[in-house]
């Protein structure tokens, strides 16, 4: 099968890539770009471990073909930390003990970031809606909500 | 693994061109049904040669609600529907259905067109649109045809869409005068849950009586259909004449009439009856009737 | 006691890696020249293998080898009973048994190879119900076994005949529980590297119990333990689930790594994980209980039958925990309990958080509410009249005296946290409309650690470097629960150094002594004591050296915040300088820590003895809203009070409570792995639903602390108790709200509305 040329921006860096027709965005990130922070938990859109941000929206990268997002801007968990340190969301996840095994964490962070980018002062209900597609089997979610609330507060100032 | 070549169309014309020229093409929109089916190696898609990505086709997007008529582009996502102020104001039951679908990530990609063409028995977009009496605009290179949504699905996952056609948009008449609506859904958990049952009720009312009404259920029958007997029972009745519980019973009977006694009937019968009863009660209450 | 690091919600030591995506999980690992492998699994629950044709697969592009049971040096393994096949040999015993494996340059090539393999089966009749399997004349499933019984644990106390004769009220009830999928977010993954650093094989990946996996791999390869090395670091959840299934995977990858001489990676898809992994045991429970009019229990007769599936796996121990806890935390003079496990051709069942307790607690705490109703007593009152207090004697004859028996305290605190009394009264009255609220509770006692299952000991190593930095190694594994942080806190506390000086290292079986498995909520209690032991040994050396050097008595000196103090608040030296000097003087600055649990006893014939050396107590209360028109059930509030002895890290304990409560909620109201004639119906998360963030009630965690004489700083356990109580509390609340008593899990839409479950294809 012929390969497809695509150009995507991942965490600010532009990549010209050749991708296969069946190649999912998740595969491109993990296998071509060796960015393994994005996780695969179910491959069918149910768990949210593969969540990344495509053009400001949280999406399941297991359900998107890379060629479909040619020209897009993508943010992954690897893009959160900057030279000035950890992102307020990352700090809040640490501070609030919102992490146990950590497998859901990258996806949680991406869903939360997509939310705060468009809605810097979310209600608890809005946080839940933003994270309803991210399963976590360890934490029972409470400390994750606490962390997003804290990040929203810190980030606001 | 299913082997296919991905094609990307950037205009409706291009879509129609490809659908005419190439065989064994499967349209790809948000991919939230199709990518799952491909992952699971659904035999239905074993023989496809091409996947045609239409997500970049601007002509297929957008919501237009006029005073008389409305239309929704096939590529409109559930996220767009639920955040549209127009939908919220004029057709809140469509927004409610959209917000009950999947998760934020799913709603960001999943399209209303994909929901309809995939035609799962539990698909949530059917009942609100059937309640509106919606028609689908199916287009091929030769032109477009209109199909009433309730005639679109032949059986679960099988529609009258032809291989060379694309679903362009959904068109409907706007409800007129004073109207009330409700959308209800029962799932196995509070989010990311497909419907065990869902229900849309849309009624135009006048002088403490029902002028027009549509009660449509999802996941109750193999293909979503309006409950004609319930509609008949309620139409032209004054509020005082209506017994919500009776409406529920009629709906349940009608469902069982269509499906026969199935493994799920002992649950669905009382639950559907209750949903209909509640929807009718809500309607009366919203219409200000407290008799 | 004032603590510096212990008893504080310090941050997780592994958090940075986890929030940046740097943490490498099994599927993220890559090695030079690595191959990928896939397993062909059978769809038949019971069949003879007649012929396997692999030639076509071997010729496929990229394929480096195709292997069957014939290629496995020793095909049988198991932690308790060695009856599990690495690859099915003559017979498949469950749908999902691996039959053939292929290794290739890429995963896709390995998968393509599998499609070319032909296996000819002769289908056999199957047994899919343990109640059938136990019958005389049932089809025998395991060669060399007289019947299908995996295990039977009896317990006899007093005389039940006499006890029932004394009763004014006798209730007999049956309860059933379902198959549960662990649903760890990370599907299993391993990489095996051959001939690395003087090991025949090194095993990396999502391994819950590195020593158990090492045992399995060395047994399968028939090589010495020293030749197998298991390295464990990040694991995406386990909950008891990444033991045997991962051992089998590691053994398969090890065989292929040795055959090809290259690293071999195996990663399960979610569907493969569902198909192949073991589940929580479904139980069929029969309870007979007698009580006087005054509500004093006189006798209990209990039978619990567990479905072991195709293999024994952990059934003998799971059902043993059930036999110890089957009566619940109540004083009963006369008890007759029998727990059984039977082979079937269902998916096999093993360890899952809670082990054998959630099933019996669901039954027995539901029964207590049923009995209370029968006697016209409030649920709390009936419990108070019978529950354990200090000095009570358990069903197995153990006197509870060495630790604080805090049932009353946990119950009272949980009730206060959720405003139980007021709500109980309010919801006991008439409620208008279809939506009814109710509140229900359950209580438990739980033996800590392994108990009489096995030797209960663990090791640690602590090394102080010349710059004063402290490296900690443990023989127990981080499973996500926070062990690295807890152990670092304990080391920092004893050595008087800041947390930033303590580094927790990944587990390497070649380096740390065998510490058994990270199970039974034993990590903090047993492993924490081992860390404390090593740290105290080092501290002793430091104090002796310092006393000598500065001419003080040891008692006068203090290590704090990375300094040595003279007891008057004067700093004498930094920890780094002092320990550096010690190292330069030739003093050994490493220490092994070791902890072996206090003595326990068990008489398997009578079911008597002191099975655990200490217990924890818990109470959970659920407030629900039931839609009696549609069967929808919402758990609105939950309170969870748990005596943890001492919370080494209270934030972490809360995390365990939130997580356990949600897992218990899933068990109670939505989760069910449907198995029809041995075949799992739906192998991904759209069919098997676990709770989302929208299903979360408002959870009030209540930490109760009664330090245990044997725990490190008094700490006991928390991991498992948190999930064992929820289902009964919810079932009791539903009965309170709607009047409908549901005796089978889960409490799904159908059961809540019409009182029974419906299954596709059923009538
Ligand atoms: C986790 C998860 C949760 C979900 N929850 C729900 C839910 O609660 N309720 C619900 O109803 N659904 C649910 N779905 C199903 C799915 O998201 C919806 O059906 C969605 O609307 C499908 O749209 P899509 O754009 O993703 O379709 P795609 O997957 O891209 O396409 C689906 C089908 O429609 C065809 N198609 C798409 N667009 C067109 C067009 N314009 N013309 C012709 N053919 C077309 C495709 O060829 C394909 O056959 C869920 C799915 C997932 C993965
Ligand atoms: S891996 Fe994409 S949602 Fe689970
Ligand atoms: S922390 Fe383990 S799944 Fe969320």
Mean of the per-residue pLDDT values of chain B? 96
Provide the whole-model pTM: 0.97
**Residues B145-180 as b or e (16 or more Cβ within 10 Å = b):** eebebbebbeeebebebeebbbbbbbbbeebeeebb
Instruction: Report yes or no on B185 lying in a domain.
Output: yes
> How far is C464 from C581, CA to CA, in rounded Å?
12
Per-residue tokens: C294: 């005054």
Best of C665, C749, C754 to disrupt the B interface by mutation (most B CBs within 10 Å)? C749
Residue B112 sits in a domain whose CATH number is 3.30.465.10
Instruction: Report yes or no on B291 lying in a domain.
Output: no
Instruction: Tell me which ligand sits closest to the C-alpha of residue A40.
Output: 2
Which ligand 2 atom sits nearest the alpha carbon of residue B105?
3
**For residues C177 and C168, is the Cβ–Cβ distance under 8 A?**
no
Per-residue tokens: C23: 């943490």
> Across the interface, do B31 and A64 touch by the CB < 8 Å criterion?
yes
For C166, list phi and psi in degrees, rounded to 5. -80, -10
Domain ranges for chain A, please list them: 4-79, 88-156
Indicate if the pLDDT at residue B53 is higher than 70: yes
> Within 10 A of C51 (CB to CB), how many other CB atoms are there?
9
* pLDDT of the residue at B58: 97
* pLDDT of the residue at C455: 82
Taking CB atoms and an 8 Å cutoff, what residues of chain C touch B264? 758, 760
Q: Indicate the pLDDT class of residue C762, thresholds 50, 70 and 90.
A: low
Indicate if the pLDDT at residue C1 is higher than 70: no
pLDDT tens digits for range B129-140: 999 999 999 999
**For residues C443 and C329, is the Cβ–Cβ distance under 8 A?**
yes
**For residues B127 and B116, is the Cβ–Cβ distance under 8 A?**
no
The pairing of strands C558-560 and C563-565 is: antiparallel
Q: Indicate the pLDDT class of residue C453, thresholds 50, 70 and 90.
A: confident
Residues with Cβ within 8 Å of residue B172, at least 6 apart in sequence: B69, B70, B71, B129, B132, B133, B134, B135
Instruction: Report yes or no on B271 lying in a domain.
Output: yes
Residue having the nearest C-alpha atom to atom 18 of ligand 1 = B115
**For residues C660 and C729, is the Cβ–Cβ distance under 8 A?**
no
Nearest to C403 by CA among C580, C652, C588, C645: C645
Nearest to B79 by CA among A148, A61, A25, A114: A114
| CATH classification code of A88-156 | 1.10.150.120
Best of B105, B114, B192 to disrupt the A interface by mutation (most A CBs within 10 Å)? B105
pLDDT tens digits for range C142-172: 988 999 999 999 999 999 999 999 999 999 9
Are residues B213 and B236 located together in one domain of the fold?
yes
When pLDDT is averaged across residues A142-146 and rounded to a whole number, the result is: 98
> How far is B108 from C315, CA to CA, in rounded Å?
45
The domain tally of chain B equals: 3
- Residue C724 CA, chain-centre distance (Å), reads 11
* pLDDT of the residue at C493: 96
Indicate if the pLDDT at residue B281 is higher than 70: yes
Q: Give me the domain span that covers residue B27.
A: 5-53
Indicate if the pLDDT at residue B279 is higher than 70: yes
pLDDT tens digits for range C243-283: 999 999 999 999 999 999 999 999 999 999 999 999 999 99
| CATH classification code of C283-451+603-754 | 3.30.365.10
Q: Do the domains C31-124+188-267 and C15-22+457-596 match in fold?
A: no
Are residues B282 and B196 located together in one domain of the fold?
yes
Residue B243 sits in a domain whose CATH number is 3.30.390.50
> Within 10 A of B21 (CB to CB), how many other CB atoms are there?
10
**For residues C700 and C418, is the Cβ–Cβ distance under 8 A?**
yes
> How far is C556 from C576, CA to CA, in rounded Å?
20
State the DSSP string of C17-68: HHHHT-PPPGGG---TT-EEEEEEE-S-SSEEEEEEE-HHHHTSTTEEEEE-
pLDDT > 90 in chain A, percent = 96
When pLDDT is averaged across residues C89-104 and rounded to a whole number, the result is: 97
> Domain A4-79 is of which CATH architecture?
Roll (3.10)
**Residue B284: HSE in the Cβ half-sphere, 13 Å Cα cutoff:** 19
**Nearest-neighbour CA in chain A from B217: distance (Å):** 25
| CATH classification code of C15-22+457-596 | 3.30.365.10
Indicate if the pLDDT at residue C511 is higher than 90: no
Are residues B43 and B68 located together in one domain of the fold?
no
E strand or H helix at C750, and its extent? Answer: helix C749-754
Q: Indicate the pLDDT class of residue C463, thresholds 50, 70 and 90.
A: very high
pLDDT tens digits for range A60-81: 999 999 999 999 999 999 999 9
Kindly state if the Cβ of A113 falls inside 6 Å of ligand 2.
no
| Minimal-distance CA residue of chain C relative to B266 | C754
Kindly state if the Cβ of A60 falls inside 6 Å of ligand 2.
yes
Return the SS3 of A96: coil
> How far is C582 from B217, CA to CA, in rounded Å?
79
| CATH classification code of C31-124+188-267 | 3.90.1170.50
> How far is C415 from C638, CA to CA, in rounded Å?
10
- Domain final residue, candidates B125, B145, B173: B173
The pairing of strands B209-218 and B197-206 is: antiparallel
Instruction: Report yes or no on B239 lying in a domain.
Output: yes
Domain ranges for chain C, please list them: 15-22+457-596, 31-124+188-267, 283-451+603-754
**Nearest-neighbour CA in chain B from A131: distance (Å):** 7
Are residues B42 and B80 located together in one domain of the fold?
no
Are residues B261 and B190 located together in one domain of the fold?
yes
Indicate if the pLDDT at residue C82 is higher than 80: yes
> Across the interface, do C434 and B274 touch by the CB < 8 Å criterion?
yes
Indicate if the pLDDT at residue B216 is higher than 70: yes
Q: Indicate the pLDDT class of residue C512, thresholds 50, 70 and 90.
A: confident
The pairing of strands A73-75 and A51-54 is: antiparallel
| Minimal-distance CA residue of chain B relative to C686 | B193
Are residues B67 and B125 located together in one domain of the fold?
yes
> How far is A137 from A101, CA to CA, in rounded Å?
9
């Amino acid at each position: 099968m012929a390969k497809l040329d695509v150009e995507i921006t991942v965490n600010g860096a532009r990549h010209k890539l050749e991708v296969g027709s069946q190649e999912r965005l998740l595969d491109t990130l993990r296998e071509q770009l060796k960015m393994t922070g994005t996780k695969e938990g179910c491959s069918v859109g149910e768990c949210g471990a593969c969540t990344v941000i495509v053009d400001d929206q949280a999406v399941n990268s297991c359900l998107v073909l890379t060629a479909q997002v040619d020209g897009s801007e993508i943010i992954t968990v690897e893009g959160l930390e900057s030279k000035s340190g950890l992102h307020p969301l990352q700090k809040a996840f640490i501070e609030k003990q919102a992490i146990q095994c950590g497998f859901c964490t990258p996806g949680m962070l991406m869903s939360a970031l997509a939310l705060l980018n468009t809605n810097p002062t979310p209600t608890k209900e809005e946080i839940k809606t933003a994270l309803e597609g991210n399963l976590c089997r360890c934490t029972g979610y409470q400390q994750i909500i606490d962390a997003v609330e804290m990040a929203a507060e810190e980030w606001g100032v | 693994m299913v082997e296919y070549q991905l094609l990307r169309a950037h205009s409706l014309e291009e879509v129609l061109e490809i659908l005419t020229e190439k065989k064994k093409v499967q349209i790809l929109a948000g991919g939230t049904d199709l990518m799952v089916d491909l992952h699971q190696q659904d035999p239905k898609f074993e023989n496809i040669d091409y996947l045609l990505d239409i997500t970049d086709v601007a002509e297929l997007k957008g919501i237009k609600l006029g005073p008389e008529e409305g239309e929704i582009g096939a590529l409109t996502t559930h996220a767009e529907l639920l955040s549209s102020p127009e939908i919220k104001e004029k057709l809140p039951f469509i927004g409610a259905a959209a917000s009950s679908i999947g998760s934020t990530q799913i709603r960001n990609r999943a399209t209303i067109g994909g929901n309809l063409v995939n035609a799962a028995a539990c698909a949530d977009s059917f009942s609100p649109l059937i309640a509106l009496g919606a028609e689908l605009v199916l287009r091929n290179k030769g032109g477009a045809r209109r199909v009433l949504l309730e005639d679109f699905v032949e059986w679960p996952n099988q529609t009258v869409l032809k291989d060379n056609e694309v679903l362009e948009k959904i068109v409907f008449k706007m409800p007129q005068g004073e109207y009330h609506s409700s959308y209800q859904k029962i799932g196995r958990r509070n989010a990311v849950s497909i419907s065990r049952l869902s229900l849309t009720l849309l009624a135009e009312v006048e002088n403490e009586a029902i002028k027009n009404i549509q009660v449509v259920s999802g996941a109750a029958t193999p293909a979503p259909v309006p409950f004609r007997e319930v509609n008949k029972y309620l139409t032209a009745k004054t509020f005082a004449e209506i017994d919500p519980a009776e409406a529920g019973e009629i709906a349940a009977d009608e469902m069982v009439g269509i499906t026969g006694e199935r493994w799920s009937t002992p649950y669905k019968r009382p639950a559907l009856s209750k949903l209909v009863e509640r929807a009718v009660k809500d309607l009366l209450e919203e219409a200000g009737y407290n008799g | 006691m004032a603590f510096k690091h212990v008893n504080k919600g310090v941050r997780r030591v592994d958090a940075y890696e986890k929030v940046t995506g740097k943490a490498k999980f099994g599927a993220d690992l890559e090695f030079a020249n690595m191959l990928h492998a896939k397993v062909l699994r059978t769809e038949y629950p019971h069949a003879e293998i007649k012929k396997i044709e692999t030639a076509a697969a071997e010729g496929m592009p990229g394929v480096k080898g195709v292997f069957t049971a014939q290629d496995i040096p020793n095909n049988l393994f198991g932690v308790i009973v060695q009856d599990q096949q690495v690859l099915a040999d003559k017979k498949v015993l469950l749908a999902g048994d691996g039959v053939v494996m292929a290794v290739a340059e890429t995963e896709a090539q390995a998968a393509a190879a599998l499609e070319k393999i032909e296996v000819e089966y002769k289908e056999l009749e199957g047994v899919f119900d343990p109640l059938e399997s136990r019958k005389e004349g049932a089809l025998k499933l395991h060669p060399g076994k007289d019947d299908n019984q995996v295990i039977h644990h009896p317990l006899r106390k007093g005389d039940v005949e006499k006890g029932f004769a004394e009763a004014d009220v006798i209730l007999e009830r049956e309860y059933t529980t379902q198959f549960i999928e662990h649903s760890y977010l990370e599907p299993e993954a391993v990489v095996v590297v051959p001939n690395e650093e003087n090991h025949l094989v090194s095993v990396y990946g999502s391994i819950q119990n590195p020593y158990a996996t090492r045992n399995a791999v060395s047994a399968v390869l028939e090589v010495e333990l020293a030749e197998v090395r298991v390295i464990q670091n990040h694991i995406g959840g386990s909950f008891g689930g990444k033991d045997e299934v991962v051992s089998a995977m590691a053994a398969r990858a090890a065989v292929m790594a040795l055959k090809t001489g290259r690293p071999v990676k195996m990663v399960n898809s979610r569907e493969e994980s569902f198909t192949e992994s073991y589940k929580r045991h479904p139980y069929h429970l029969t309870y007979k209980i007698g009580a006087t009019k005054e509500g004093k229990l006189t006798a209990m007769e209990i039978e619990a039958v567990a479905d072991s599936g195709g293999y024994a796996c952990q059934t003998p121990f799971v059902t043993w925990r059930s036999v110890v806890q089957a009566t619940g935390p109540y004083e009963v003079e006369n008890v007759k309990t029998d727990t059984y496990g039977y082979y079937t051709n269902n998916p096999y069942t093993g360890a899952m958080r809670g082990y054998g307790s959630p099933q019996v607690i669901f039954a027995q705490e539901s029964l207590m509410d049923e009995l209370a109703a029968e006697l016209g007593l409030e649920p709390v009152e009936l419990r108070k009249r019978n529950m354990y207090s200090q000095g009570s004697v358990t069903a197995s004859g153990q006197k509870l005296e060495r630790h604080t028996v805090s049932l009353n305290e946990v119950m009272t605190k949980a009730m206060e946290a959720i405003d139980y009394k007021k709500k109980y009264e309010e919801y006991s009255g008439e409620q208008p409309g279809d939506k009814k609220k109710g509140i229900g509770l359950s209580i438990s006692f739980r033996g800590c650690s392994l108990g009489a299952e096995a030797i209960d000991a663990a090791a640690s190593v602590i090394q102080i470097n010349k710059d004063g930095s402290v490296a900690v190694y443990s023989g127990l594994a981080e499973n996500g629960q926070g062990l690295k942080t807890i152990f670092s806190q304990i080391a920092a506390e004893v050595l008087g150094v800041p947390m930033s000086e303590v580094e927790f290292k990944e587990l390497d079986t070649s380096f740390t002594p065998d510490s058994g498995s990270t199970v039974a909520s034993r990590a903090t209690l047993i492993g924490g004591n081992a860390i404390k032991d090593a740290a105290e040994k080092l501290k002793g050396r430091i104090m002796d050296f310092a006393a000598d050097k500065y001419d003080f008595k040891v008692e006068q000196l203090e290590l704090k915040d990375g300094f040595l103090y003279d007891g008057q608040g004067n700093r004498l030296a930094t920890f780094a300088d002092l320990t550096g000097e010690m190292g330069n003087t030739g003093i050994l600055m490493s220490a092994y820590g070791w902890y072996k649990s206090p003595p326990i006893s068990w008489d398997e014939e009578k079911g008597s003895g002191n099975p655990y050396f200490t217990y924890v107590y818990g109470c959970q209360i659920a407030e629900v809203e039931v839609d009696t028109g549609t069967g929808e059930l919402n758990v609105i509030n939950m309170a969870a009070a748990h005596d943890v002895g001492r919370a080494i890290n209270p934030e972490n304990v809360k995390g365990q409570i939130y997580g356990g409560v949600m897992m218990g909620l899933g068990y109670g109201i939505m989760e069910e792995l449907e198995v029809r004639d041995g075949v799992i119906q739906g192998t991904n998360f759209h069919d098997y639903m676990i709770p989302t963030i929208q299903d979360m009630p408002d959870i009030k965690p209540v930490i109760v602390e009664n330090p245990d004489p044997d725990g490190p700083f008094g700490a006991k356990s928390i991991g498992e108790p948190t999930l064992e109580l929820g289902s009964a509390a919810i079932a009791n609340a539903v009965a309170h709200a709607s009047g409908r008593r549901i005796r089978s899990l889960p409490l799904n839409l159908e059961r809540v509305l019409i009182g029974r479950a419906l299954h596709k294809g059923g009538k």
